[in-house]
Every structure is written in C-alpha cells, then in structure tokens.
Structure 1
C-alpha cells in the first residue's frame, strides 16, 4: 500500500512541475515531465495487475507470517479442544461404568490408548469370560421320569461372551437414573415408550419401584437393584453398552458344561457342583430374609467367577418364558412373559434354585425379588489377545475329572 502512496505523490509532483513549465512556456520541460508522469503511472498499473494475478494463482497466494500463524493457531486450538472433549467424555463414561461402550469398534478408534487400557481393566475386573460351546437348556423341566436323556432338554450352541460377575447394584443403577436414563427414549423398546412415565418409585419419581425421592434405601448401595421390570433392565443394559443374557448363556455360565466327544455335555446342577448347599447361596433357608450385597457368598460362585447366579434375586434374561424347552413338551404362553433365572432370597424349594430351572413373569412386573445382570458378546468388542487366548479356560475333559471337582 505504501508503494502506491509514494507513487501517487510523485505523479502529483510531476503534474505540478509540468504545469509550471507549461505556464513558463518551457515546452521541452513540460513534454519531458509528461513522459515521466505517464511512465510512472503505467509502471504502477502494471505492478498492481501483476500482484493481483500472482495472488490469485493456485498455490501462490501470498500470506503474511502473522496471518499464517494465526490460522495455524486457530486450527491447532480447535483440534486440541476436540481431543480434550473426547477425553473428558471418555473419563465420564468410565466413572459411570460404561466401559463396554468404549471397547466397541465404532468408538474405540477415537479413544486414547491409555483410556482403552483402563476400560479393558474394568471389563476384566467386573465381567467373567464364558467360553463358546454347547449347553443343555430345559433339562429336567419335563417332570417325566421315563423321558429318554437325549430328549430331556435341548442342546444349544453358545458363542463366547462376557457376563457381569455381580448382579447390577443400586449404586450402579443410580448413575443411570441420574444421567436421565428414563428420558432417553432411544434406550427403550419402542412398544413400551408410552408407559415409561409409569415406571416411578414410591414417591412418583422415575426409578425403581421401591426407591424414594429418586434414590435407593440407605445402606443398600451394594445390594442388587430390584423393583425394575424387564424393559427397565434392557434400557440400563443398552446405556452401559451391554445387553441382557439369553437363557442359554445364563445356563452355560452357571452349569459350566463339560464337552464329551460324541455325547451330550455334562453340566452342574448348581454353580458350585451337584449337591445343594444353603450356605453357598441366599435362599429362604439361609435365613437372611432379604437381599444381601452382591459380592457375598463367594463360596457359591461359578467356575468362571460369577457371584450369586443362584439366590439373592431372580435375574431377567432376554428370552421369552418357555423358550428353549424340550420339543416333547410344547408350552404356549402369553408372549409378554419373560424368563427369570436363579431363585431369590424368598425361594423355598431347592429345585427352583438350580441352573436348569426356568421361571417367568410379565415383562412389566416390578417385584421385590427380581433383578438382573448384563452380558456382551465377544464379537461386539475390539479384538484383544487376552480376550481371545485359550477360550476353553482349561476345561476338564473326562467324567472322572468332572465328578472329582463337583463333589
């Protein structure tokens, strides 16, 4: 810009000088001044056109150092802000126990490695790996002593999956409530959306039936959440990036079948073995009279390390009641009935608290003795060497070994 200012002053000076020469009748001087003025103006115009053409050429646009630095700074700040927001969100999800979401392939690509490592640690601590294999579902429900063994129950293949070590607690479900889980409609099955407003606690606030003022009873943070229907359990599972286990998955995690070549697998009646022991589970005979913390009764855990699959509270599964039954005894029931497994603190008969027994209830039932735990398939997680290695977990291979470990 200053070049044009100097040039303009020079031209103005030449014009004045030419005018004086003309008035003094010095025609030669006036003619020379006119030529210089024209040359100066032409040069200015040429320089301006050249600069304009140069600045409009691709890849040749001139930018001042200050402009370039400012643009780079803005771009870097935007990138840093995006990274920080992503990290903050990931940290919040870890605090909420939603680590399984971070380990899904669609999300893991944008998560820092150290955060993924923490999510993996939480998965290993809070869930147990159940290897793929066959399991028998519906065994012993026919009430027919003369039914051939090969018709007693149905052999179902189960893919490898992770199952919560513990039943979902009041403390964990509180995070879902506080995060507005009852207002996030995409988490809920479409058919139940009109009824969500009915899922309130004893004071009319959205939450489990037996809570008050939007929170669980004092001193029961580690107790299983109860008073939640099947739809509430399914919505929570989606929120944490998991799902409810299927009936075959639940049975396999508790009975831990032993595969036999050319024969049906052998599986336990209870997670700890074949013999009933009321000291290893919270049933009516245990005398507790209510729920206990989910990490109690460690002696009754499954081979894979899942606590209280039997007792404490019944557990919702994703299957309909009557599904996977023996084809010899078809059962036609209301489609709204969902399967529950495992017995509860008020279950009296031991045969109703085995890995084989299936009960059921209305999907909208919100009872004091029904809770749930969650699962997630290996195929839904990012590949991990530790997750994939030795999926059989050193299973015993002979009946003699099975009999020895189940005594």
Structure 2
C-alpha cells in the first residue's frame, strides 16, 4: 500500500512539473512564477509551524516534573519462596527450628512465630498422675497410677483438620519414605482412599469432601498421623503430655497433685463436648464446643474424635497389673462423638487400637518439644544453611 502511494505522489509531481513547463513555453510565465512563489510560501509556513510545535513541547517537558519510574520489586530468593510455601502449608514449626530460623528474613520469621502462637499452646513442665481412672460408679478402679514427670511441651490447640492434611497429600507425603516408620514401608501403598488414591480412608479422588475443611481428619492410622507430624515439623504427644494438657495438675507439697477429671472440672458437662446422646451424632468442626477447652486453651480434648498418642496401649500400668497386649496396639485418648460412657471420655481413660486401624472416629493432634523451637530473639547458632531449609521443606524433620 505504501508503494502505491509513493507511485501516485511521483506521478502527480511529474504532471505538475510538465504542466508548468508547457505554460512557460506558451508564454504564461507570470502564472508559472506565481504558482512557484505560492508553493515556496506554503512550505515556509509548514516548516515554521512544525518548529513552533516542537519548541512548545520541549519547554513543557522541561517545566513538567518527570514521574519517577517505579522500580520493580526484587525477585524473592529460592529460600524465601520455599519458606512462604511452608507457611501456606502450616509448616511453621519447621521454620522455627534454630538451624532453619537462622536463614529466614525477619519478616518471615515473625510470620512463623505468629502462626505458631495462634495454633499451639504451651503445657508447662510438672508431674501428672497417669493410669488411674474412675468408672461409672465413681469408684477408683485399676491401681493408684504412676506419677510421671513431663517436660514443657507445645500442643496443637485443635485437632488436625481435613484442609491441613490435604496439604500433606498434595505435597506427595505418601511418597516421601523418610517420613514413615521403616517397618510400615511395605504397607504404605495400602493407605488409600475410596478411589484408590493415597489419602485418608473416607476421602475420594485424593480429596476430602467439599465443605468439610474444618472437620478433624479421620480414617488415618497411627503411622499416617506420625508421618504427617514429621512433615510439619512436629510429633505425636505422649500419653502423659496429653493428660497433663487436659487434667492440668496442681502440685501439692508432699502429696499427689490435684488434677481435673475433665478439662473443665471434675464433673461431666455434656454441653461442653461432642459425645453420644448430647451431640449431633457426627463429627463437627474443630472450632465448636469452645466452653470445653482446657485451662491452657486446647479444644476438644474430650469428644468429637479419639486422638492417637505416641504411647503404646497398656503403658503406665503398675508391674502387677500389666496387660498382655499386641505390641502394635497404640494408645487413644479423649473419646469421640459416639462414645457412650462418661468415664471413657475423661482425661484419665486410655483406650487403644491397632496402629494400622483407619476408623471413622479416630484423629490426632500434634506436639513440639519446648527445646526444639526458637520463639524468642535469643542468639543461636547460625551455622545452618539453605540446604537444611530445602531438606526440611522436602521431607520434614525427624523427631
């Protein structure tokens, strides 16, 4: 198109020049002089106007302050990107390990500490009486129990939810063998959902049911719970740790500590827990039954779902009252929405099941030892490296 316009322009100029030449030869030289003069004046006017516009534009650009160009934000480093991902996955406890916290920017370290404070509570050190419980007749049963010393520990305020466990599944937790106890490696492929994909027993297509994000995850065996805990940088609590969080013993000089039968007191209050006959007869959100929280702020230690602990079933009994049980039995605490007897839904009562059981009423919560976490701005060994963060991000930290 441009070529055609150029051809037409050349032709028009040629015709005009030819016409002027003919007029000159015919004696109309005054006409020719007039046309040339007009063309020269028009060209001069166009040039003058053009130069004037350029001058005005130049003066305006000098007078007008130039807006500084926005500087693009620097690309986050690989370490920061990984740390942000771990925060989104609720793996803040890993980021607060001293050897990893040394490599975090202050902003991300503060975010990890804030998440830790929101989701976990401290159980102070002290003694707890483990193994004694009351039956329906409120009479002492079994034996006097053991006084066990518990070191300070952090415990999840809530049971692990479906949405939290979904992060573990999405990250390929069932394929990361370092997270799993070696004795269960041959069976990990059997821990699948209803569609045959890795995940809790009652999920489908590797996902929990829509709308059940804040329900406690169930249908996971003890090994799945332990693997998840390692992945997030935590562990399962022991029986004494779990009991101390709920019973909240008060030490007495020269006597056994006074401890609660239930997190809220000595008597059962069915309005404070999701149990048989007083609840909706199904699992509910972990945020419900706020009035049943422990002194330290742990919710639903009693009711909703049983909770795996790291202890073996039958532990903490006196030598003369030992149970001969399968060593694969693991301890369960707290009762569930379908627990009928009140004495089974108490801080003292221990139930148990096989470590590979994947039932509809068993979930878990996690713990972190007090000495494993850096929550204060104290000096610490900065010998950690980005490689340690990447390794932690890939497979968790062994507890």
* TM-score normalised to structure 1 length: 0.72
Partners of 1:329 and 1:144 in 2: CA distance:
21
Counterpart position of 1:122: 115
Match of 1:191 among 183, 186, 198: 183
| 1:224-263 mapped onto 2 (5 Å cutoff) | 224-263=216-255
- The 8 Å contact of residues 131 and 348 in structure 2, kept in 1 or not, is answered as yes
Q: Which residue of 2 aligns with 1:270?
A: 262
Gaps of 5+ in 1: 1-79, 387-407
Q: Summarize the Cα distance change of 1:305–1:358 in structure 2 as closer, same or farther, 3 Å threshold.
A: same
In structure 2, how many angstroms separate the alpha carbons of the residues matched to 1:170 and 1:146?
39
8 Å CA contact 2:133, 2:140 repeated in 1: no
> What is aligned with 2:106?
113
The corresponding residue for 1:139 is 132
Q: Does 1:374 align with 2:376?
A: no
- Name the structure, 1 or 2, with higher relative contact order (CA <8 Å, separation 6+): 2
| Contact in 2 for aligned 1:270/1:354 (Cα 8 Å) | yes
Residue in structure 2 matching 1:172, options 164, 174, 180: 164
For residue 359 of structure 1, what is the aligned residue in structure 2?
351
Alpha carbons 2:309, 2:364 under 8 Å: kept: yes
Q: SS of the residue aligned with 1:134? A: strand
Q: How far did 1:142 drift?
A: 9.6
Whole-angstrom CA distance in 2 between matches of 1:228 and 1:203: 15
- Cα RMSD of the aligned pairs, angstroms, is 2.3
Tell me how far 1:83 sits from its aligned partner.
Answer: 6.9
Matches of 2:136 and 2:277 in 1, distance apart? 24
Deviations 1:262-297 (A, max 9, x none): 111110000000010111000012231110000100
Alpha-carbon distance between aligned partners in 1 of 2:115 and 2:314, rounded to the nearest angstrom? 35
Note if 1:216 corresponds to 2:216: no
Asked whether the equivalents of residues 312 and 344 of structure 1 are also in contact (C-alpha less than 8 Å), the reply is yes
1:102 aligned onto 2:101: no
State the 1:171 CA deviation: 0.4
1:225-247 Cα deviation digits (max 9, x unpaired):
00000000000000000000000
Cα distance between partner residues in 1 of 2:270 and 2:76: 53
Q: Distance in 2 between matches of 1:307 and 1:189?
A: 29
Partner deviation per Cα, 1:191-229 (whole Å, 9 max, x = no partner): 001100000000000000000111011211000000000
Equivalent position of 1:6 in the other structure: none
What secondary structure does 1:91 align onto? helix
TM value normalised by structure 2: 0.74
Matched-pair contact (CA < 8 Å) for 1:142–1:152: no
Could you tell me how far apart the structure 1 residues matched to 2:85 and 2:221 are? 27
Residues 110 and 197 of structure 1, relative CA distance in 2, 3 Å threshold: same
Map of 2:332 onto structure 1? 340
Q: What secondary structure does 1:93 align onto?
A: helix
1:373 shift after superposition: 0.2
Name the CA shift for 1:218/1:383 in 2 (closer, same or farther; >3 Å): closer
Q: 2: CA distance between counterparts of 1:87 and 1:282?
A: 41
Superposed displacement of residue 113, structure 1: 1.5
* Conserved? CA contact 1:226–1:369, under 8 Å: yes
How many residues matched? Answer: 306
After superposition, the Cα gap between the structure-2 partners of 1:81 and 1:230, relative to the gap in structure 1 and judged at 3 Å, is farther
The CA deviation at 1:383 is 5.4
Q: Secondary structure at the match of 1:285?
A: coil
Q: Does 1:156 align with 2:143?
A: no
Report if aligned partners of 2:197, 2:205 keep a CA contact under 8 Å in 1: yes
* Alignment deviations for residues 178-200 of structure 1 (CA, whole Å, 9 cap, x no partner): 00000001000000011000000
C-alpha change, 1:345 and 1:136, in structure 2 (3 Å) is same
Deviation at 1:131, TM superposition (A): 0.3
Runs in 1 of length 4+ with deviation above 6 angstroms?
Answer: 80-83, 141-149
Structure 2 residue runs of 5 or longer lacking an equivalent are 1-72, 379-399
Q: Is the 8 A contact 2:95 2:112 kept in 1?
A: yes
Q: 1:206 to 1:272 in 2, by over 3 A?
A: same
Separation (CA, whole Å) in 2 of partners of 1:333 and 1:181: 31
